[in-house]
Amino acid sequence: MYKKSTTKTNSQIEEMTLSMSEVFGELTKQDKEYIKEMKKYYLSLMQIRSMRKKSGLTQEKLSSKSGVPRTTIAKIESGSRNATIDTLMKLASAMNKKLEINLV
């Protein structure tokens, strides 16, 4: 049986895309700041995953080297769990990296 393709073109996707203001109305300064901080947070999660992969480590291998359970690493990388500084230090050390924390 032939299945019709459901692939969308870029213009079709753009037509389906809504801006934040179209969905939520005008955002307050506090809302914008929260979104900005969440973006930084998720970028840092992506950086952890990226560093792990650049180090040639699977979650399982990183777990063995760091002593952090694989499930914890997966949850940190997916954003479903916050990491403590101690956990981040263990992960960084296992990847031969330094952990830097800046308060600005």
pLDDT computed for residue 35 by the predictor: 84
| Number of domains composing the chain | 1
Mean pLDDT of 98-104: 83
pLDDT computed for residue 58 by the predictor: 97
pLDDT computed for residue 27 by the predictor: 77
> pLDDT, tens digit, for every residue of 44-85?
778 899 999 999 999 999 999 999 999 999 999 988 888 999
CATH of residue 64's domain is: 1.10.260.40
Instruction: Give the count of beta carbons closer than 10 Å to the beta carbon of residue 21.
Output: 9
Instruction: Please check whether residue 100 lies inside any domain of the structure.
Output: no
Task: Give the helix ranges, DSSP H, for 1-104.
Answer: 10-16, 20-24, 29-54, 59-66, 70-78, 85-94
For residue 21, pLDDT over 80 is answered with no
Structure-token match 């308060």, residue found:
103
Instruction: Please check whether residue 14 lies inside any domain of the structure.
Output: no
Q: How far is CA 56 from CA 5, 23, 25, 45, in A?
A: 36, 40, 44, 17
